[in-house]
Amino acid sequence: MSTDFKKMIEIVLQEKPEINAEMVKDLIEEKKKTIGAGYLTDQGALFLVAADLGISFENAPKMNSGIKDLYVGAKEIGVTGRVMNIYPTRKFVKKETQEEIKNRTITIYDNDSAVKIKLWDLITDFPEERGLKPGDLVKITRGYVKASLSGRPLVNLGSSSSIDIIDGSNSDIQDINSVTISVDEIEQPRENAVIAGRISSNPRISEFTNGRGERSKLLQLQISNQDQSRTIRVVIWNIDELRLPKVIEIGAQLKLIGVRVKEGNPQYGNSDFEIHGDEGTAMEFSGNQLELEAMPLRIISVGRKTSKGTISCLAVDRLRKYFILNIDSNLLTSEIRQNSTVECIPSRIFGNSIILSAEDSYIRMIDDDSSFPLATMLESKIKDINSTQDPILTEAIVLQTPNETEVNTKSTEVVPLAATMIGDDTGEIRLVGWREQSSEVRKLNVGDRVKIAGATVNSRIGSKQELTLRQYSSVINIS
């Protein structure tokens, strides 16, 4: 126990004679537990305990050591660490003066802990001016420490503070590669993690309303270990699409820098851990980035137009590889149909998902090309349908009047569901439509002969396989 720490204990006992040293020790442990393991030393926790008790250490020693030794209230601090996250600049206007203020946050780490650094004033532009990147070693001087919203130390750098990139080749602080863990090494929740894995699902971008009430976007995907025996869900919140490559291939290696590992939500995955990042998370994709080129495709199924003005289609290339097209309807100058042959230049390709936006892509009909398979060539008999990730095409007869119901999801959403039984000369299988796709099932009548294009196989626990309609699915009545 340091002399300074002992002196601080003595000050607390003098100011609060109704408590004893053992009680102070208990308060320190409780504070460390509340803030979170790895964020406070005993001395740092004592500063927070003293603040709760209304005690001030006016002559507290200045901090010039490791990140773990930082405490709320410390001034003129100096600390060295490697960069983990770099967040975008935020701007706001002071109500009193209408002055525009900007700031941004970076996260640095050493071998014991990590801390967020808030840059103010002219220092805000430091990352761009100096080309700051994850792994760089930086030295902070004359910073001051305040409490973040979570109560953890937050270092602020103002006009009198400084931040410098220094040579990290001889530093004992581990570099990014040294702190990187694999999917197999994820064993417990943790923050400020660097994780590497192989992309094993189509990346998907969707919208949500963030904590500031603004519409924002999130990226969802899955990463796996090398033999794909373990898969982890990844969510990157407040994603900037411009940071993503135009083409992301399934199987590519991905390193996520500055993420949080948390307990998995069984609603969205397999109850394993989940990886969550945000706009400060850096993503490094391995291999050469592919260029977007014109793609000729055969349309196999055309879904309904959505409320967002997009049309989802299922297509196939000459090698019978399936693609899901999400097309801005403004790009279509003529009606797109099953077995149409098209050529497109995508905005993005995420796995087998192709995004065609009105701003930077095109799609046009081209002359029929017999080198592409027709939809009929891809059809399966019901007995041959098995667990596969490929969409299913089949011709069958409706055997039952569709059953309609509403289902409460785990997120308390109430959604429509319609189901029926279809069959051919080899067997029978249940056909299910959720949400908008439920209307495709409801319109069917017993005895109708139909072609189902683009359904997926779903095997529920304890139940037989069933076909589920997707946004790109179509049900064509041929009777």
- As a CATH number, domain 181-285 is 2.40.50.140
Indicate whether this model's pTM tops 0.85: no
Q: Where do the DSSP E strands lie in 306-386?
A: 310-316, 322-328, 341-345, 348-350, 353-356, 362-365
Cα angle: 309, vertex 315, 317; to 5 degrees: 145
- For the chain, state the CA radius of gyration: 29
Question: How sure is the predictor about 456, in pLDDT bands with cuts at 50, 70 and 90?
Answer: very high
pLDDT over 90, % of the chain: 60
- Cβ neighbours for 125, distance < 8 A, ≥ 6 positions apart: 89
Q: How confident is the model at residue 451 (pLDDT cuts 50, 70, 90)?
A: very high
State how beta strands 114-120 and 153-157 pair.
parallel
- Distance CA(244)–CA(432), nearest Å, equals 35
| Residue pLDDT, tens place only, 361-389 | 999 999 999 999 999 999 999 998 887 77
Question: Residue 48 is inside which H or E element, if any?
Answer: helix 42-52
- In this predicted structure, the answer to whether residue 390 has a pLDDT above a threshold of 90 is no
Judge whether 305 and 361 are in contact, CB under 8 Å: no
Question: What's CA 77's distance to the chain center, in Å?
Answer: 34
8 A C-beta contact, residue 205 and residue 310: no
SS (H, E, C) 372-434: CCCHHHHECCHHHCCCCCCCEEEEEEECCCCEEEEEECCCCCEEEEEEEEEEECCEEEEEEEE
By CB atoms closer than 10 A (0-12, 13-18, 19+), residue 348 is buried
CB 458 within 8 A of CB 429: no
pLDDT grade, residue 61 (50/70/90)? very low
CB 266 within 8 Å of CB 70? no
d(CA 378, CA 388): 14
What are the boundaries of each domain within the chain? 3-166, 181-285, 295-365, 379-477
Read off the pLDDT of each residue in 83-99 and give the average, rounded to a whole number.
88
DSSP 8-state assignment for residue 280:
T
Phi, psi (rounded to 5 degrees) for 322 = -85, 145
Answer yes or no: same fold for 3-166 and 379-477: yes
Query: What is the token pair recorded at 26?
Result: 């208990």
Domain 3-166 - what CATH class?
A: mainly beta
* Mean pLDDT calculated for residue range 453-469: 82
- Mean pLDDT (the chain) is 88
pLDDT of residue 267: 64
CATH fold, domain 295-365, is OB fold (Dihydrolipoamide Acetyltransferase, E2P) (2.40.50)
379-477 CATH = 2.40.50.140
Pairing of strands 253-262, 274-277: antiparallel
